[in-house]
Copies of this chain bind each other. A is one copy, B any other.
Amino acid sequence: MTIRVLAFDIFGTTVDWYTGVSRQAAEVFGELGVRLDPGAFALEWRDKYLPSMARVQHGEREWAYLDTLHRESLDELLAEHGVDLDEAARQRLVHAWHRLPAWDDVPDGLQRLRKSYTVAALSNGGFALMTNLVKAANLPFDCILSAELARTYKPDARVYRTAASLLDVDPGEVLMVAAHGWDLAGAAAAGLRTAFVERPREKGPDREADKDVDAEFSVHDFGELAERLGV
């Protein structure tokens, strides 16, 4: 079956959340005199990401979009560190996830790929968050898709199948592009094809990112993906 749509994971695959969140946290912490290491803080915050979504995905709580989960895990994390921040600072931190820098290869790679494919953002970030982030980073996606449209989270099969259905293609005509094994395993289980992008700096300088993930394509950046797809 021919690939017609490329669906891109965003956090870690398309944008550098570690650098973006830790820099914005450093600004907030600096202004308010908070003595937390921003890089470690970003990692600890992200560690709460998968467990918080799993509770929604498994029906243990009702649908809540990612800003809500980020806020809850932020509140937990600050409490664990005994740090009290005011409402405005907490909101700034939650919104840090709306403004993240793309990896260097992304703008050109997407421009090249979109000449031959429909390129869609397919993230666990909410629809508004994704729209804000893609606009701020000026990324040439053809459309925004979000787990919010299926009211559950990746790796639930409904997210991938909703994306294919909205684009009126078969799941097997969609290539999921991601830097995480759990995302690609979910996509494959839903009948999508898979491309792994290795992002060794995703979790900063000291923590190892996913590697050697099982996928149909395995590349180092979006430009190499375009080459492999022959476009």
CB < 8 Å neighbour of A127 from B67, B135, B166: B166
A114 vs B169: C-alpha distance in the bound complex, in angstroms?
Answer: 30
Closest to A65 in B: B168
Q: Which residue of B lies closest to A142 (CB)?
A: B135
- Closest chain B CB from A113 CB (angstroms): 13
Copies, count:
2
A143 within 8 A of B: yes
Contact in complex: A131, B149 (CB < 8 Å): no
Query: Quick check: A135 and B148 within 8 Å, CB to CB?
Result: no
Q: Is the CB of A167 within 8 A of B118?
A: no
**Contact between B135 and A118, CB atoms less than 8 A apart:** yes
Chain B residues with CB below 8 A from A149, complex form: 149
Q: Is A128 an interface residue (CB 8 A)?
A: yes
Taking a contact as CB atoms closer than 8 A, the residue among B127, B144, B166 that contacts A128 in the complex is B166
Question: Chain A, 123-142, contact with B by CB distance < 8 Å: what is the 0/1 string?
Answer: 00011111110110000001
25 A-B pairs whose Cβ atoms sit less than 8 Å apart in the complex: A67-B168, A114-B135, A118-B131, A118-B132, A120-B131, A126-B168, A127-B143, A127-B166, A127-B167, A127-B168, A128-B166, A128-B167, A128-B168, A128-B169, A129-B168, A130-B143, A131-B142, A131-B143, A131-B167, A134-B143, A135-B142, A142-B144, A143-B143, A144-B144, A148-B166
Residues of A within 8 A of B (CB): 67, 114, 118, 120, 126-132, 134-135, 142-144, 148-149, 166-169
